[in-house]
Structure 1
């Protein structure tokens, strides 16, 4: 009996010890690592880790922001993130029989736009990201909406049983998380004199999936709304009126961040009366920020000399936009200088609401 009691006691102690060691969760206390220097100096102190990041910061002149006195938060991509991006870019360029590009010579404006997404004004340690929906942040230069959320990773087969990580997302200006592109942190809360650093995982591709598309993007021909100018009109205005936040004027403004929205949609047209009759040989449509079912799917482009008699220049049916803010260029075989151009959208993808970020008529060299 004593032996049985002794064995039972030993078994109980082992069980308690085991449960306290691995009870289905990993109770990690989040520590801050303090570095006696600026954010930029910290990056420079890690050769072999942030060399590519430093190259980009130097080319874009953003390095000055990370060495100043203003508090900043950096979500730092490592060398591997840039290597993956460059590899993807050059795989695409190889298929097109185009020369390779590298961080030292890729388009500076695009590089600057992408790099800015990783830097936020202010001091944001991980405990500022604990809300259910995370923390809504804006990049320091272009004010694009980013999201940072503290979560618990999985460990030892237990979901949510691992260390704390930050999920840092480019929201693509969408309220729906399915549209977001997210990177996870590898280490967090490195506190420098002028801010804090969260290092991103090595599997993150620099640019939040935009690196290749941005650097292989061919801009559309010159926009006649800008180069010639004109008077704009629509068949029906947004229910909020001409000054509503989603009024018709925003479909002509060349800004993909704004849009024209119509409810109870059963077809509508948008029109420009150019200041000078001009032969357009292309036009563009840009999808808006959310709800793909609101995208145009069937439309007709027409030209007119007097605004009364119209000639069909192009007609599309069953078209699809594969992403938000996607600009598509459509070339037309036209050499006639029209004073009026009209885009008549007959149908949205589904439902009875229509939206579009931008429309333009263009003239340029045929690609």
Structure 2
């Protein structure tokens, strides 16, 4: 009997110790590290970690913001810059272009990309605990970013691991699927003027725009700008020609505006009439700000001398715009000057609501 009581006591102690040790979840505490100095001074105090970031900050003149303003910095490490530069130079090498360095990359691109990581206001993790996270703006250009807390898994428990921040470039889109997101490695480093959250080492500086922006080839000259014309569409926005998303905005060259129309498939077209016939051998289409299901996929381009008899110049089927505000250039063989150009849209990615930020006709010297 004594042995039985002893075994029961041991088993009870074992279960008590197990519960005390585990508790059914990972008891992660979001701890803050305090640094006696500014955000910029903190970066300087970490040699071998943020050298590339400091080089960029110094080059584009962001030191004052990091020293004097109330900010939150999502700090990419040297590894983030190394990945970005390697990706860029691999692409440039294939295009037989000279390699780039942080010291030589175009100032304007570095400035806007670096500014995305410097957020207005002091935002510790407590401020990001809403279910949908928190919308943020970069300090210098007011560009929309987003942050949200999430729990990782640990020891078999879903959401029982350490807390991290999902830090996102929203691409000015309300749809999560269009965002580019990275995570933090460490969080809540308090300085005298702000908070530093360190971004994971596998993050590529510039999100997904570093290579594309630095290998960008501008489209050929836009005849809508250099020549001008009279513009028309087969169907106007339901709000009329002065609506917020009226057809006039598809000709204005501004990707922030768009033309929206619900009613295709069917006979649906955009048209330009030049005062004098013009030779065009390229055109551009720019995707609008939100729902990619509204993007056109099938279309044909035509030219005419009188607006009645049309000649086929180009056609596309099953085209896809990879991102929002994406400008795509389409080239075609043509040496004839036409007074009218018309683009007919036959199919959308899904549904029957059409949108497009811009269309242009262009001339490329060959």
Do the structures match in fold with TM over 0.5? yes
CA distance 1:275–1:187, change in 2 (3 Å): farther
TM-score, scaled to structure 1:
0.92
RMSD: 2.1
SS of the aligned residue for 1:243 comes to coil
Query: Per-residue CA shift, 1:221-254, capped at 9, x if unaligned?
Result: 1222223333332221111223333222222222
- The equivalences for 1:213-362 within 5 A come to 213-265=212-264, 266-274=266-274, 277-362=277-362
Residues 365/356 of structure 1: CA separation in 2 closer, same or farther (3 Å cut):
same
Query: Matches of 1:181 and 1:199 in 2, distance apart?
Result: 17
In the TM superposition, 1:127-166 aligns within 5 A as 127-166=126-165
In the alignment, what sits opposite 2:64? 64
**1:228–1:276 contact (8 Å) kept in structure 2:** no
Structure 2 residues without counterparts, runs of 5 or longer: none
Are positions 1:35 and 2:35 aligned together?
Answer: yes
Within 5 Å, give how 1:168-179 maps onto structure 2: 168-179=167-178
SS at match of 2:196: strand
Q: Indicate if the aligned counterparts of 1:127 and 1:150 stay in contact, CA closer than 8 A.
A: no
Residue-by-residue CA offset, 1:294-352 (whole Å, 9 max, x unaligned): 22122222334444444333222332323333221111223334443322212223321
Give the aligned partner of residue 365 of structure 1. 365
Aligned residues: 365
1:109 matched to which residue of 2?
108
With the length of structure 2 as denominator, give the TM-score of the two structures: 0.92
SS where residue 7 of structure 2 aligns? Answer: helix
- The 1:11–1:285 alpha-carbon spacing in structure 2 relative to 1, beyond 3 Å, is same
Q: Residues 82 and 270 (structure 1 numbering): CA distance in 2 closer, same or farther, change over 3 Å?
A: same
- Please tell me whether the aligned partners of residues 152 and 161 of structure 2 are also in contact (alpha carbons under 8 angstroms): yes
**CA displacement, residues 14-58 of structure 1 (integer Å, 9 cap, x when unaligned):** 322222322332222222222222111111111111011111112
2:242 and 2:8 map into 1 onto residues whose CA distance is 79
Match of 1:18 in 2: 18
Q: Is the 8 A contact 2:175 2:291 kept in 1?
A: no
1:192 Cα deviation from its structure 2 partner: 1.6
Deviations 1:258-305 (A, max 9, x none): 322211212421123346543222110122233333221222223344
Partner of 1:201: 200
The answer (yes or no) to whether the contact 1:232–1:273 under 8 Å persists in 2 is: yes
Measure the CA separation in 2 of the matches of 1:13 and 1:267: 79
**Distance between the aligned counterparts of 1:293 and 1:345, measured in 2?**
14
CA contact (8 A) 2:39 2:191 kept: yes
Q: Does the 8 Å CA contact 2:287/2:326 hold for their aligned counterparts?
A: yes
The 10-residue stretch of structure 1 (203-212 or 331-340) with the greater mean CA deviation from structure 2: 331-340
Q: Deviations over 1:66-107 (max 9, x none)?
A: 122x31111111111111111112222233333322212122
- Structure 1 alignment gaps of length 5 or more: none
Alpha-carbon distance in structure 2 between the residues aligned to 1:98 and 1:351: 42
